[in-house]
Structure 1
Amino acid sequence: MNKKIMIVVYGGFLRGMGHVVRMKRLAKELLQEGNDLYFYTNDQICVEMLSHPEWYVHMVHESNALLQVQQDIKKLKPDLLVIDVLDCDLQFLQTIKDSCGSARLVLFEEKREEACQLADTVINGIYGGLDGKHEQLNGTAYYHGTPYLLLDHEFKRFKDTYEVRKECKKVVISLGGSDPCGLLSKAVSALLQTNHLDILAVAGKASHIKEQVEAEHIQFIQHTDQLPVLLSEADVAIVAGGMTLYEVICIGVPSIVLSQVDHQAVTASMFAQKGACFHLGLGDLVEEKDLLQAVQKLSDSYFLRRSIHLNGRSLIDGKGIERVKNILIHLMNSHQKEHKDV
């Protein structure tokens, strides 16, 4: 009998789309193992992103999400309940924990002790820092660090083939699925005079940016499923401090970071200290001239770009999605065994 997995994940313009992207990646892996998947999300743009013919997607209003999830727990009797919601309401988590019976509860990117104590497993690929660690604490299993990042398999493949070219020709700009600070427009404006470079600006699925710039060396794309390929073709990338930063570091693309929010700035600073990227700080505080100067510095120096490439390669191996899939399968199998033993 197929195991049943319920996934609650929220995204959108203010929350960003990183949670949704990584849960869709994980779902594809779990689907291959013969599981039935049921998504619960909060925004129409997330429904569109998660759409897939082989699983179910329900849009819920956050005010009554608890009721629908509770009802479906009772009806479906899932083996696994996954929650990937930024700063998820603690009362919501407590009620779900009380309702989920023998189902295993897994939280992603959760640091609050009172939330973690409710879970069987907590996976913090981003919040866990750069070094991998596994520990058991008060009945909760924790998996920390970049070994547990949910990156697409393509990033591992491009990691094995990417090379730093002597001449810098192409810059790819990707500043998140929603770009709430409008940093894509700032970055494009800063690079208007760089006629010697080809600029590709990629707007995310939930981005509100629509304008195009009439310049021969600048191209816009409004969302694409081909971002791994595009990043692998870049000589320099300009990214935010979310999932795309981990992706370019995994591949080895020399990158400049404009963080969208404070927690991204913390992440980017850690990588910058390792020499794995340039971090200019919170993007809405960065002057266009400083971004232009950073791009010129990187594009002019093959040795600097190669140094950043080499410094980042050892930090992310790109195998996290396989590790996390195996963790969840083991968790469900142990649940099934305990259920039979009762």
Structure 2
Amino acid sequence: MKSEPLRIAFRVDADTHVGTGHLMEVMALIEAMESICAVEPLVVTRANPYTVERLERSGIRNVMLLDGGCDEEEDVIETVGILSAWGYRDLVIDLLDRSDAFYAALKERLATTTVILDNNVHKATPADLVINFSITQSACFYDPLPGCYLVGPRYAILGGAIAQRTPPGVKESVSRIFVNQGGGDPYGLTSKTLKAVDGMFEGAQVDVVVGGSLGRATLAELEETKRELGGGERYIFHSNISQQEVYDLMERADLALTAAGNTLYELSYFGVPSIVICHHPLHDTVARAFEQEGAVINLGEGNRLDEEVIACEALRVAGDLGLRKTLSRNMRRIVDGGGTARVARRIAEVVRWSRQAGPAGRGKGAAEIANF
């Protein structure tokens, strides 16, 4: 007999402040889950044109928009109300900076909750399943804690069936440069990076991936930068492109100038030698962890950087084939591309466990889930 599809809801947002990484993770998870089991996803999100458009393009039909503000209590009430109306009792939460009280309130009201994090905080989180794929995480911290924790880059949630791609080798010279500062680029670091390297790398093509949630001021600054760039035909700006198209650019890149969000984990899979220009202290912590593995050159927070520093480091890395090979090799050791499938399978297992356990298992299933 054909099994009933898993009805799993996803709570996610994307905007200039939080960027687009959380949304990309959810879309990647849904795609992975659809490849391993029958699933009926429901996405609950705040109204944002970019979010709605990307979900529509990905073929996700069931999307509900929240009406309330940013208050956590209102969010819980409205989210649970939507799930109840649709007949969903299992929720995956991929949001920025939510309190333990928020997670606990959702866990109390639903059959299962999964929380996806990407930070350097080591603590228990109220949920049936917790994923934190940050390179800063240490699995041994969670061993004595109740519940199921999947931590570290082994569980990096990357999209577009990235594991089916073949990472390229390192070429003798740099002919393609990949530039990206995340989906929101809240600090205008794309413009700063381009100004820093303008006039360098004669004959090289610079592929600039423009995030989908840039604010008006950042977009205006970027347009002004485009007009100022010398040899402008070498700069190709890619806006509103698919994840597969982003991966095409990464496969061709010989050097990347990037932030330390999800894109850094994707570049790691492809082994693209990368110079990291961070948005904020959390990014800097992540980039330093990559640097400690000999995998990137970390320049720290971009707002504190002189353009000359960016230029000098870019020239140094581009001119040192041995260094680029070392960076590439060490990046490939960190991310294997299988994280999305691992997480998708585990979420499906947790939901199936909940169905089998029924009401009797509610609230006491941490150990059972961990051993399911």
Corresponding position of 1:174: 180
Aligned ranges 1:201-212 → 2 under 5 Å: 201-208=208-215, 209=219, 210-211=222-223, 212=226
CA contact (8 A) 2:136 2:286 kept: no
- The whole-number CA distance in structure 2 between the counterparts of 1:30 and 1:155 is 15
The higher relative CO (CA closer than 8 Å, separation ≥ 6) is in 2
CA contact (8 A) 1:38 1:56 kept: yes
Give 1:19's match in structure 2, choosing from 10, 17, 22: 22
Q: 1:338 is paired with a residue of what secondary structure? A: helix
Give how far 1:294 is off.
1.1
Aligned pair 1:146/2:153, yes or no? yes
Give how far 1:135 is off.
5.1
Give how far 1:128 is off.
5.3
Seen in structure 2, the aligned counterparts of structure 1 residues 255 and 26 have a Cα distance that, compared at 3 Å, is same
Give the length in aligned residue pairs.
336
Give 2:203's match in structure 1, choosing from 196, 201, 221: 196
Give how far 1:330 is off.
1.0
- The whole-number CA distance in structure 2 between the counterparts of 1:97 and 1:85 is 15
TM-score normalized by structure 2?
0.84
Aligned pair 1:291/2:310, yes or no? yes
Aligned pair 1:47/2:52, yes or no? yes
Give how far 1:337 is off.
1.0
- The whole-number CA distance in structure 1 between the counterparts of 2:99 and 2:136 is 21
Give 1:126's match in structure 2, choosing from 115, 119, 134: 134
- The whole-number CA distance in structure 1 between the counterparts of 2:135 and 2:293 is 17
CA contact (8 A) 2:177 2:206 kept: yes
Q: In structure 1, what residue type is equivalent to 2:248? A: V
Q: In structure 2, what residue type is equivalent to 1:272? A: E
Task: Give the number of the structure whose residues are more often helix, by fraction.
Answer: 2
- The whole-number CA distance in structure 1 between the counterparts of 2:355 and 2:136 is 29
CA contact (8 A) 2:28 2:160 kept: no
- 1:57-94 Cα shifts (integer Å, max 9, x gaps): 12213344333212123233434211111111444333
Give how far 1:308 is off.
0.7
Seen in structure 2, the aligned counterparts of structure 1 residues 135 and 153 have a Cα distance that, compared at 3 Å, is farther
- The whole-number CA distance in structure 1 between the counterparts of 2:190 and 2:64 is 31
- The whole-number CA distance in structure 2 between the counterparts of 1:132 and 1:201 is 36
- The whole-number CA distance in structure 1 between the counterparts of 2:86 and 2:310 is 51
Q: In structure 2, what residue type is equivalent to 1:309? A: S
- 1:270-320 Cα shifts (integer Å, max 9, x gaps): 111111011000011111111111111111121111111112111111100
Seen in structure 2, the aligned counterparts of structure 1 residues 154 and 233 have a Cα distance that, compared at 3 Å, is farther
- The whole-number CA distance in structure 2 between the counterparts of 1:239 and 1:325 is 27
Aligned pair 1:222/2:229, yes or no? no
Q: 2:287 is paired with a residue of what secondary structure? A: helix
- The whole-number CA distance in structure 2 between the counterparts of 1:78 and 1:128 is 34
Tell which deviates more after alignment, 71-80 or 279-288: 71-80
CA contact (8 A) 1:153 1:318 kept: no
Give how far 1:137 is off.
4.8
TM-align CA RMSD: 2.2
- 1:32-62 Cα shifts (integer Å, max 9, x gaps): 3211111111241222222243431122133
Seen in structure 2, the aligned counterparts of structure 1 residues 270 and 54 have a Cα distance that, compared at 3 Å, is closer
Tell which deviates more after alignment, 34-43 or 174-183: 34-43
Q: 1:307 is paired with a residue of what secondary structure? A: helix
Q: 1:152 is paired with a residue of what secondary structure? A: coil
Corresponding position of 2:83: 73
Q: In structure 2, what residue type is equivalent to 1:255? A: S
Q: In structure 1, what residue type is equivalent to 2:55? A: L
Give how far 1:136 is off.
5.5
TM-score normalized by structure 1?
0.91
Identity over aligned pairs, percent: 23
Q: 2:313 is paired with a residue of what secondary structure? A: helix
Tell which deviates more after alignment, 321-330 or 134-143: 134-143
CA contact (8 A) 2:136 2:289 kept: no
- The whole-number CA distance in structure 1 between the counterparts of 2:43 and 2:169 is 38
Corresponding position of 2:64: 58
- 1:229-285 Cα shifts (integer Å, max 9, x gaps): 101100001110000111111110000000112111101001111110110000111
Seen in structure 2, the aligned counterparts of structure 1 residues 105 and 313 have a Cα distance that, compared at 3 Å, is same
Tell which deviates more after alignment, 206-215 or 131-140: 131-140
- 1:118-142 Cα shifts (integer Å, max 9, x gaps): 211111111653x666956553111
